[in-house]
Structure 1
């Protein structure tokens, strides 16, 4: 194995020590890659390689795709399925 991809920087930070205990050098022999781009990733004993997703930008793009469809869709008529007394 030459690399570990962790689903978060917290997990990747914890994984940095495991290869060292096994005599494997990070990053010379094995890469550890995190995900989240959290600030602590640069403060570990070995700066962590991490990926950043621009969540705000993704949310705005999703809203631009969805909102026009919602605004153009006909309004749903409320229906009552239970007793009306």
Structure 2
């Protein structure tokens, strides 16, 4: 039986001008940890998405923190975080 740890899932959303960046740390159907990042321009259909599969929650959390730090460095404003 697959066990999900939904209390550990994290999400964050940033904006800078008309650009957005969204990052989610959660588990997939097989309970593997996945970091899903999407970015693009607000008001258009242009954008991209990338999924990074992590071997453990610790590795996934470190990657999420690195994304958080990079967004701050690039002057994105945090809109929401959970």
TM-score (norm 1): 0.25
Kindly indicate which of the two structures has a greater share of residues assigned to strand: 2
Larger Rg: 1
